[in-house]
A and B are shown apart, each in its own frame.
Chain A
Amino acid sequence: MSDIYSIVTSQKLSYEQKVVALAHAAEDTLSVLNIPERTRYYMESGVICNLNEGNAPYRPRYIMPDYEKAVRQGVKFLELDPPQDLDELLTFLQVLYRHVPSITTYPVFLGDLDRLIEPFIDGLSDEVVKRKLRNFFIYLDRTITDSFCHANLGPEATRAGRLILDVDRELEQAVPNLTLKYDPAFTPDDYAEQAIYTSLCVANPAICNDVLNRKTYDRYGISSCYNILPIAGGSYTLTRLVLPRLAAMTDDKQEFLTKLLPEAMQCMADYMSERIRFIVEKSGFFESHFLATEGLVERDRFVAMFGLVGLAEAANHFAPGKKYGTDPEADDVAEQIMQAISDFVAHYTCPYCEIADHRLLLHAQVGIDTDHGITSGIRIPVGDEPQSIYDHLRHSARFHRFIPTGCSDILPFDITGKQNPAAVLDIVKGAFEVGQKYVAFYASDSDLVRITGYLVKRSEIEKWNSGQAVLQNTTQLGAPTYASAHLANRKVRGV
């Protein structure tokens, strides 16, 4: 009650933010999931965290509509015919995005924008296309006020892709997040360099290792905080295991690996299965939502993301005095933990996850604003990064290989990188060659910074910190995280 009252009377929340918060509060008055005693214990102690997904899920957490199919066949429910020109396409997408549900109520995936737009720009000059794209992007930034929203580019270079990068650089917005799928066999160097240059100006796009990531599913997209998910599907849920809180329950590594960890994983996996079952069997989403009934998502293309966070602190806990990232002892403990988790999910059968062979898929969860002293997923804590960027990236690769549905590094680069994007591309190529899966960067002087995956403007953080309302929800999440995770101290990589 007092919670709801404080939502209603808040002066820091915008009107839309209040509506969303109130809906969450309403959902949480229900108790429809069967949660055993032991699971409750782990949830109450913060070991298992459902990331505020709500007590009665009525839609999958992340939805990746097949926008190409929608553009081809139109959307009956929305009374939209297939678009015939660029204006119609952009309007079509704006309307459709507005109706894609998600955990945040905003679409987390906007599609392969370059591929969607490319067929509609023949015969239009660059200037004309850019003007239209600019308006489109401004609309997205001001209405999807949450930078978990993500559009994809590549791997092929397209004129549309280049124009999107130009517009992105000119506008300096937090939305949409962009990722370039990169495959040296298909992505020309000059295009990748343009993307990197853009990234060093406006912290966008990130670069995804297409060669490794496309092994996970036939067609994938990147959504939200670099979730790698099937297109025409998505993820029912993302629940996470907060490893440092579990590690804190014992000093005995063996007990951790053979007792606590298996028990907590079993509880979490069962809980996730329960959520999946509720969405599929009870919520009515797949029977009634137009995305499902018109074939823009398919039930059997949904997966469930088994998140983990704070591998670094857990490893350090069992290797006292050593540091994950630079000490082999701590890294080896981390590898044992990852192996145990990986073995568990390889054997656990969950319902309704056909595309993943009925397995839960691991995800390096990036953290939330209330995490303190817990490092994102499998990242190296800020301040403990190896001296050499190559060692850093090799370290990432060693742990990225366990994670199919998203893991990444964020590297701030010295501003001189802007003068030599080719050099940064060489580093990206090397990273991907050794098995790193996804990398994002920003220049050390950039207003836009990546918090844990999403983008926030430093200037907006200052506004929020001084008590003013801000447009982007993610600023509210980013402001405390930027401070508590000491992100300003990330090791800046000179080039």
Chain B
Amino acid sequence: MAIVRKLISQSTVDGPGNRFAVFLQGCNIRCAYCHNPETQAMHDDEAHEMSVVDVIRELEHCVPFLRGVTVSGGECMLQPEWLTELFLAVKRLGQIRNHPLTCLVDSNGTIPFSHYPELMQVCDGVMLDVKAWDEAVYSRLTGAPSNQVVRENLGWLLGCDKLTEVRIVCLSGRVDVETILENIAETFDSIGRKAPVRLIRFRPQGVVGELSNHPMPSDEQMNNYARFAHELGLGVTIR
């Protein structure tokens, strides 16, 4: 059983193509810009326990229209065994229907993927949030002491070709966007492989606390980041 916040049968913002998205309840960090803070607690009145079979039942009639499934959160890697079981079932369903489905994870990268080889066997890729590079910046933003594991995950996922996308939520003053981009470029160079980078504009909708009235970065600011990334040889898109 997993604690599921919600299911979306048609999503175009959770990875390539049209995807079925599963949002798990519970997160292990507290980002100041989190736009669904209600998913942070491990339990919530609006989340329910669901078995893999329950999810597959909802997924079944959507199969022909989908490229795959993405599990997001909260932080879905807090429930890794269930995730493995779900992906196995999704792959099986795709096989039976003769319609292969890809399985992606959307994660904050605080749990080492290398510890879950069985999961990584059925997971086609990870969309990794790199929230900050400098440890102090990261701590201030997320309340977590260290981002060592996130950095390791970046290299490890790239090394085994499971890095679908790197995501950076851009918010000037609170996120060291340029430093992140420099270090991503360095990691890509050292491993000799690249992954797409997505620059996500901070949006105050849903945010509670100190950033709830913080303005969005301007188009110009976003374009500057993109240009900077481009100069580093990174392939970026802005959302």
The B1-56 residues at the A interface (CB cut-off 8 A) are 9-10, 12-13, 16-19
Interface size on B, residues (CB 8 A): 17
The answer to whether the Cβ of A419 comes within 8 Å of any Cβ in the partner chain is yes
Taken together as a complex, chains A and B put the C-alpha atoms of A433 and B61 apart, in Å, by: 13
Report if A389 contacts B (CB, 8 A). Answer: yes
B residues near A494, Cβ cutoff 8 Å: 10
Q: B65 an interface residue at 8 Å Cβ cutoff?
A: yes
Residues of A within 8 A of B64 (CB): 429-431, 433-434
Number of interface residues of A (CB under 8 A): 23
Q: Which of B9, B17, B99 contacts A390 (CB 8 A)?
A: B9
Report whether B18 and A426 are in contact in the complex, using a CB–CB cutoff of 8 Å.
yes
User: Chain A, 378-405, contact with B by CB distance < 8 Å: what is the 0/1 string?
Assistant: 0000000000111101100000000000
Nearest-neighbor residue (CB-CB) of B238 within chain A: A419
Decide if A427 is an interface residue (CB 8 Å cutoff). Answer: yes
A422 and B17 contact, CB distance less than 8 A: yes
Residues of B within 8 A of A390 (CB): 9-10, 61-62, 65
In the assembled complex, the Cα of A424 lies from the Cα of B16 at a distance in Å of 11
Point out the residues of chain A lying under 8 angstroms from B65, CB to CB.
389-390, 393, 426-427, 429-431
Partner of B12, one of A391, A393, A394, A495: A495
Residues of B within 8 A of A434 (CB): 64
Q: Is the CB of B239 within 8 A of A495?
A: no
The reply on B66 being an interface residue by CB < 8 A is yes
* A-side contacts of B19, CB under 8 Å: 423
Q: How far is the CB of B26 from chain A (nearest CB, A)?
A: 26
- Cβ of B67 within 8 Å of any chain A Cβ, yes or no, is yes
Q: How far is the CA of A390 from the CA of B67 in the complex (A)?
A: 14
A250 cross-chain contacts in B, Cβ below 8 A? none
Within residues 97 to 116 of chain A, which ones have a CB less than 8 A from any CB in chain B? none
Question: Are B9's CB and A495's CB within 8 A?
Answer: no
Q: How far is B18's CA from A416's CA once the two chains are assembled, in angstroms? A: 13
Tell whether A45 is near chain B: CB-to-CB under 8 Å.
no
For A420, the closest partner residue in chain B by CB is B12
B residues within 8 A CB of A429? 64-65
A158→B10 CA distance, assembly (Å): 31
Question: B99 contacts which chain A residues (CB < 8 A)?
Answer: 433
Chain A, residue nearest B239 (CB)? A419
Residues 224-239 (chain B) with a chain A CB within 8 angstroms: 239
Question: Measured between C-beta atoms, what is the minimum distance from B191 to chain A in Å?
Answer: 27
When distances are taken between beta carbons in the complex, the residues of chain B under 8 Å from A230 are none
State whether A495 and B10 are in contact (beta carbons under 8 Å apart), knowing that A423-B17, A423-B18 are contacts in the complex: yes
How far apart are the CA atoms of A394 and B239 in the complex, in Å?
32
CB distance from B238 to the nearest CB of A (A): 10
What are 15 pairs between A and B in contact, CB < 8 Å?
A: A388-B10, A390-B9, A390-B65, A420-B12, A422-B18, A423-B19, A424-B18, A426-B18, A430-B18, A430-B63, A430-B65, A430-B66, A431-B65, A434-B64, A495-B10
Closest 5 CB pairs of A and B: A430-B65, A423-B12, A426-B18, A430-B64, A423-B18
Question: Chain B: residues with CB nearer than 8 A to chain A?
Answer: 9-10, 12-13, 16-19, 61-67, 99, 239
